[in-house]
Chains A and B, each alone.
Chain A
Amino acid sequence: MNRSHKEFRCGSNTLNNQQTIIGIVREWTNYITRSRSRDRDQIRMKNITKAILRALKYQESSRGIAFPFRQLTKEKRRELSRITELITHNRSGSGSIPRLAVYLVGPDHLIICGSGSGSGPDPSFCQPDSSPTSPPSLKPFSVVNHRSNNNHNRHRSICHLETEIFNQGQMGSKEDDGIHENILPPIEQEISDELNTKAKKYLRGEGADLKALQDKKLKGQLAVREEIYGKSAKAAAKIEKWLLPSEGGYLEAEGIEKTWRIKQESIAREVDILSSRNQYDIVLPELGPYTLDFTSSGRYMAAAGRKGHLAVVDMKNMNLVKEIQVRETVRDVVFLHNEHFFAAAQKKYPYIYNREGTELHCLKEHGAVLRLQFLRNHFLLASINKFGQLHYQDVTMGEMVGNFRTGFGRTDVMQVNPYNGVVALGHSGGTVTMWKPTTSAPLVKMLCHPGPVSALAFHPNGHLMATSGKEKKIKIWDLRKFEVLQSIPGHAKCLDFSQKGLLAVGNGSFVQILGDLSGSENYSRYMGHPMAKGYQIGKVQFRPYEDVLGIGHSTGWSSILVPGSGEPNFDSWVANPFETTKQRREKEVRSLLDKLPPETIMLNPSKIGTVRPARKKEKLTKQEREADMEAAIEDVKGIAMKKKTKGRNKSSKVAKKKQERVVKTKRPFLEQQLKEDQASAKKRQKLNEQVELPSSLQRFARKKTTT
């Protein structure tokens, strides 16, 4: 047993030492667990490392310290392991940083060791004195179950742990063997954990509750089905882990820099030429504010200038496919199911054009449309016109599916929820209404802001909505509960969510990108981009499957790079940026075959294909009824009494009133019970009397007994 341990154990000086170690390690662990993002403060890290090593006197004899982190969640553990990997392997470049080796042992323990000031990674630190020949891996550490030592207090147990770890050959081996067997090697464990969390996404919700089923046959069938679902989800998770060709973009700050201070120029310097071509400004000042739309694959962009300029651009090679001048106000433009057709909301009516710029249709029924949206799965073109009328037109057959007067006045805030196809409108009264084409009343009417709603956006998973009001608030809503998750101060003229959930906020001549960096649906600033002074941003839209944000503003359109915004892996059957003509034609036919009827638009689209749940149990049991009564009485007792004047606030009167209240609440329960008791008694009596009668004659039986 080495000297340092003895020191730790006895002298008062060493006791201090021990406390500092624990304190520091705790601090360190807290720090790395709290900072979930990858941008860690290098200096702070260095200081902490130094402090730990000082405390461990790593130069002389001490070997390391183990820290239990069983209380951490799986995600945190995974993050921790990633960080530790980084520390051990990456940060040894500069000589000034003392190296720290951190290991995860089993699911429970983190081990931190000083690794000396040598140049390469030197594993010798982890070799105990007693067994100098043990291999430089995790093996020399024994896994020590913290639970087995829980009769010690916390300090002592850590101390105990240390000794066991470093004298594994002598002391710890007895407990070890049993534990080693059922614990996977850390890397495999990590991978299986990761696959499990990934598979959850592909399971699409909870499985059926088989325990509640009575029918054995059905239960067996469902169990088989569930197993298949589980297997396929796991296969999909594995594919996601290993087979996807591209990785997502990211932006990490190092040192004291902040991601939101990073300029587009500096990003352009770092990325490849192909990507840096995606930063540009198109200045067309005479043709007025521009609005944009991308096809679902992100390959083509339609731009519309207020003064009648319509253009379709191939974003892959920056070709202008076609531009036309319609010599009329154009308020909005939207692509239909592919790049060959687009609709433009012009002065009096919306028009449908093909890629060659030929006018195909004039949709007179829509009137002077302010905003257009296209529902890709349903082939519906939705529009809101100057008079606040919402129109749905089927673009395949030309049938007008819905025509509703919203009754909330003029608005140009409209967005489709991609998750369920519900159209949301933001109104000047601060309400947001959601519509489907088969009912004339809104599905949802929610008051989001005290002032007018200025912009609206939906997260692609459909559970988040961002709204902005003129009262300088941007709100993030949870659409499952219709609750505000977050309220961010700031104006927004336009909002858009990216595929990966970044939120672009355009206001004046500044675009801000908010990101859910912590993973807890808490949006904070991620990037910012100031445009030239005087540009008024009218539209922001992320380009699908790319890390690009398109900005339409008063003097043309621009495009900036937003790392981490787009989905890196496209699916050729869903949206293919490299689509050939033949593929496009085939896809058109396929999507027309799969065209959804308008009835499938509903708030919860997963309801399709389900059967109505079994009716609730009608009769409550006696215990349930009593529990209900108790709860009601408790509720009543909880209500505070009003202050009354003129002698009515006497304590006796208050007590009496309280009593009355209790009796009043009890009453219906008791009456109900009495009724049921009487009924059951009657029934029993009846049964006893008429057991001899056939069932058809039983209804005459009472008369007989009375006469």
Chain B
Amino acid sequence: MKVKVISRSADEFTRERSQDLQRVYHNYDPNLRPQEKAVEYVRALNAAKLEKIFARPFIGAMDGHIDAVSCMAKNPNYLKGLFSGSMDGDIRLWDIASRRTVCQYPGHKGAVRGLTVSTDGQVLVSCGVDSTVRLWNVPVATLTNSDDSADNSVEPLATYVWKNAFWAVDHQWDGDLFATAGGQVDIWNPNRSQPVNSFQWGTDTVISVKFNPGEPNVLATSASDRSIVLYDLRMSSPARKVIMRTRTNAISWNPMEPMNFTAANEDCNCYSYDARKLEEAKCVHMGHESAVMDIDYSPTGREFVTGSYDRTIRIFQYNGGRSREIYHTKRMQRVFCVKFTCDASYVISGSDDTNLRLWKAKASEQLGVLHPRERRKHEYHEAVKNRYKHLPEIKRIVRHRHLPRPIYKAAALRRTMIDAEKRKAERRKAHSAPGSVVTVPVRKRRIIKEVE
């Protein structure tokens, strides 16, 4: 006879000293865990509810400007620094961590319209409606840390006066040229007082300009004649142009897929384009109730933030048709500029109420240093939520966002209008001869034509 029975001595399975860790044993046999799917579902539901409870995206406001914030720029070499320009000609450098002004750059006579920082993070370029481009020295990071005084003002490195008011400025991602937008697109070398090159296609004002992150010589502009134009600095003439039904307020290139850019349009939508194929948008991002004023991609390229005239900020997936997140507060007015920080974890908005606001990019994310166990728990919650996201109960909780009453009403009204339009189109089609009415997909509907 051979016999063996389970025999566990307590010494082997418990800790020896009270300082030791408790011993943990695992057995992954599914039979030991009955109804694991139900348990997982309950956990997913709880995770969804917890996410709602912990969704506190607003971190704080940065006040100091005395007029509406019109533009912002992030320093590619310094995570904590952020520049903002306002309608009264004030430019400030903010320390995001302490949410205080580090220094001010006085000099502009009218509104500052554009700000950008050079590739090495040393020079700040600003332009405004006073027809000047000013170059400023950016203080060294260590110096800004030690120096806490708020009225630390600097003299400009250079001031170039040009023919017309400027609307936007952008620096090359890799190189030392920068481009301004105004009556035409001007390409500047920081060492020269006059633009090295000028482009024009059409007579209307160019209102935004953005360099391509991958190809340093390619830039996209939008103009008030409702067009988006692509330029190449190596060519003497513009490359491409697409005319839409409404004006594009801002453009942002996807830093991870640099052939794609997203345009913030006046018609409440954002349109993602492939720069090689402009006859059709890749994706239409809907949700805003009023004109989208600014857009900025996350450095991960997976999502972007938009600010709108309807007093909300939304975060979209790069390929998602609806917003993932809606941020609003009672005091925030029309949003004129938004930026994703360089670590992709915060969003900053500048609005009409003279304040900059700092938001978390993930509303329910826990800030601070996470214990590995905490981090694993968050990851687990994320995974179960993702696994059961299609089930109605969880979907409802995850999707729900509270909206201020005016926006909610506007959304309802807009929905009614869109439905009515759709119904009308359907009826028109039904009452016309077969084939005479063609339904245009939404991705093409707002595009008038593409010009080469």
Contacts and interface: CB of A to CB of B under 8 A. Distances in A.
Interface stretch (B72-80, B197-205, B221-229, B430-438): B430-438
B32 A574 contact: yes
Interface stretch (B132-140, B185-193, B385-393, B403-411): B385-393
Nearest to A571: B27
Interface string A357-368: 000000000000
A546 B37 contact: no
A418 B28 contact: no
B34 interface: yes
A266 B7 CA distance: 17
B2 interface: yes
A1 B371 CA distance: 74
Interface string B28-44: 11111111011111110
A145 interface: no
Nearest to A201: B30
A563 B40 CA distance: 34
A377 B38 contact: yes
Given A316-B10, A597-B42, A570 B34 contact: no
Interface of B is mostly: loop
Contacts of A694: 429-434
A248 B5 CA distance: 7
A270 B4 CA distance: 8
B431 A608 contact: no
Contact of A249 (B5, B22, B23, B32): B5
Given A202-B30, A567-B27, A567-B29, A546 B427 contact: no
Interface string B19-60: 000111111111111110111111100100000000000000
A252 B3 contact: yes
B14 interface: yes
B6 A568 contact: yes
Nearest to A692: B433
Contact of A571 (B1, B25, B431): B25
B162 interface: no
B287 to A, nearest CB: 22
A5 to B, nearest CB: 41
Nearest to B7: A275
B400 interface: no
A570 B37 contact: no
Contacts of B146: none
Contacts of B33: 574
B9 interface: yes
Contacts of A611: 390
B32 A252 contact: no
A460 interface: yes
A545 B7 CA distance: 10
B35 A244 contact: no
A605 interface: yes
Contacts of A252: 1-3
Interface residues of A, number: 74
Contacts of B1: 251-254, 257, 262, 266, 270
B191 to A, nearest CB: 50
B380 interface: no
Contact of B34 (A275, A419, A545): A419
Contacts of B28: 202, 236, 239-240, 571
A572 B39 contact: no
B34 A251 contact: no
Contacts of B8: 246, 577
A594 B39 contact: yes
Contact of A420 (B7, B35, B433): B35
B199 to A, nearest CB: 40
A606 interface: yes
Given A421-B35, A569-B29, A609-B41, 17 more contacts: A248-B6, A253-B1, A254-B2, A272-B7, A377-B39, A460-B34, A547-B6, A568-B6, A571-B25, A578-B23, A597-B42, A600-B41, A609-B391, A692-B433, A694-B430, A694-B431, A696-B431
Minimum-distance CB pairs A-B, first 8? A696-B430, A600-B38, A547-B5, A252-B2, A249-B5, A571-B27, A569-B27, A236-B28
Interface of A: 201-202, 204, 236, 239-240, 244-254, 257, 262, 266-267, 270-272, 274-275, 316, 377, 418-421, 460-462, 499, 545-547, 561, 563, 566-578, 580, 583, 593-597, 600, 605-606, 608-609, 611, 691-697
29 contacts: A245-B25, A246-B6, A249-B3, A253-B1, A267-B3, A270-B1, A270-B3, A272-B7, A274-B7, A316-B10, A377-B39, A563-B5, A567-B29, A571-B25, A571-B32, A574-B32, A577-B13, A578-B23, A580-B22, A595-B42, A596-B42, A600-B41, A608-B41, A609-B40, A611-B390, A693-B434, A695-B429, A695-B434, A696-B431
